[in-house]
Amino acid sequence: MEATENIVLEAQEEAQGAESSRALYEIKMKFLGRTGKVTALLKGMREIPANERPAFGKKVNDIREKLEALFAALEERMKEKELAEKLAGEEIDVTMPARRHQKGALHPITRTKSELIDIFAGMGFEVFEGPEIENEYYNFTALNTPADHPARDMQDTFYITEEFLLRTQTSAGQIRLMEKKKPPIKMLSPGKVFRSDDDATHSPMFHQMEGLVVDKNITMCDLQGMLNEFARTMFAESSKTRLRPSYFPFTEPSVEVDVSCTACGGKGCSLCKGTGWIEVLGAGMVNRHVLENCGVDPDEYTGFAFGMGIERIAMLKYGINHIRSFTENDVRFLEEFKD
């Protein structure tokens, strides 16, 4: 019987020394497997006298239970140990660069245009895009700028023929829309415009956004109210606008609209040349002739229009210094507008 006692000690000693779950399994089989020592004890029962068999059987069973518990505990420990080792070996340098799909970006003009559209769309403006090649009528005549009008000299025009030209202003869109649609009108007309002007601060092609509201009882106060809303949303909550007299053939009265300086907030800085104000757009009450030209009764309806340069807004908003940057398409510049 001592030999049987020793089996437990022997198994304990061997199992403790196992270094892997494989080795532990092999030891387990050596004792508990089909040809293992414990199984061999049971097979040797026949040689034991019948009266001793129950006691012997019980003893062997105890041994087996002990060993099974022993191996179960050791296996559990071994599994934990091996997992810890495996995880330790799988440590990575979390500071290594990410692997990802690089995204591109929309052009800052598209971004700014979309932002402007969002502001005005929320106020009920629809978006109307007219042609970039226009005829004299829509670009000038219908906008109260007949052939001998000095205002034609205000903008240097690219001509294709006597009649066709590259539009100099998105205001041309006003007429095309009003010919189709009767008031109430709230319209935005964004797009490319062209002027034969090319120097450090002018580009022969740039973008404008024209806005037009025609309805009953529209006033100059409404114009400023809307522009204040625009300035607050586009620039800063504290932004203010200032109107001052100007001249455009298609509006009367006409105003230049200044916004409180985006850099200093109105205190005066180098951006606003110390004035606290930045010229941002032109606007005015729609000239009666323009309404008449579009078949809208100026005694029934009034309206206002405003027009701004999208480049100018983008330059103010992002602090871009050179108008050329917009058409050079340097990827380093474009990458700045990722989001």
Partner 1 sequence: MKAPLSWLKEYVDIDISAEALQEKLFSCGFEVEELIFLGKDVTNVVVGKIMKCEKHPDADRLTVCTVDCGDHGVKQICTAATNVFEGAAVPCALDGATVLHEGGIQKIKTGKLRGVTSEGMFCSGQELGINDDFYPGAEFDGILILEEGVPLGADIRPIVGIDDWVFDIAVTANRPDCQSIYGIAREVAAILKKPLRAFGVSYERQETEVAISVEVEAPTLCPRYVGHYVKGVKLKESPLWMKRRLALLGIRSINNIVDITNYVLLELGQPMHAFDRSFLRGDKIVVRCAKSGEKITTLDKKEFTLRSENLMICDGEGPVALAGIMGGLDSEIKDSTTEVFFEAAKFARDSVRKTSRALGQRSDSSARFEKGVDAFTPEIAMDRALHLVYELGCGIPTTYRADACADPLAPHTVTASYEAINSLLGIEVPKAEVNAILQRLEFDIADMGATFTVTVPYFRDDVEGWPDLAEEVIRSYGYEHIEPTFLKEASVTHGGLTSQQKEELHFKQTLAGEGYFEALGYSFYSPKDFDLLRLPAEASERRAVTLKNPLGEDLSVMRTTLTPTMLANVVRNVRRGNDSGRLFELANVYLAAELPLKDLPEERKHVSIALWGEGDFFDLKGAIEAIAEAFALKFSYVRGTKPFLHPGATALIKLGEKEVGWMGELHPTVAEELALEKAVYLAELDYALLSKKFRKGIGYRPISKFPTVKRDLAVVVEEKVTCAELEACILRACKAAKRAELFDVYRDARIGEGKKSMAFRITFEPDRAAEKPLSPETVDGFFHKIVGNLKHNLGAELR
Residue 275 CB, shortest distance to partner 1, in Å, is: 10
Tell me: does residue 184 bind partner 1 (CB under 8 A).
yes
DSSP code for 202: B
- Choice from 217, 237, 270, 321 touching partner 1 (CB under 8 A): 217
The rounded distance, in Å, linking the Cα atoms of 321 and 191 is: 21
Backbone φ and ψ for 244, nearest 5 degrees, come out as -145, 150
Residues 51 to 90 in contact with partner 1, rule: CB under 8 A? none
Tell me: does residue 126 bind partner 1 (CB under 8 A).
yes
Backbone φ and ψ for 280, nearest 5 degrees, come out as -120, -35
Q: Which window, 54-62, 77-85, 191-199, 260-268, contacts partner 1 (CB under 8 A)?
A: 191-199
**Residue 28 or 186 with smaller CB distance to partner 1:** 186
Length of the chain: 339
Q: Using an 8 Å Cβ cutoff, are 313 and 112 in contact?
A: yes
The rounded distance, in Å, linking the Cα atoms of 313 and 234 is: 9
- Three-state SS at 233: helix
- Three-state SS at 183: coil
Tell me: does residue 109 bind partner 1 (CB under 8 A).
yes
Residues 249 to 308 in contact with partner 1, rule: CB under 8 A? 249, 252-255, 285, 287-288, 302
**Residue 59 or 181 with smaller CB distance to partner 1:** 181
Tell me: does residue 105 bind partner 1 (CB under 8 A).
yes
- Choice from 243, 263, 269, 320 touching partner 1 (CB under 8 A): 243
Count Cβ atoms below 10 Å from residue 38 Cβ, excluding itself: 22
Q: Number of residues in contact with partner 1, rule: CB under 8 A?
A: 86
Tell me: does residue 192 bind partner 1 (CB under 8 A).
yes
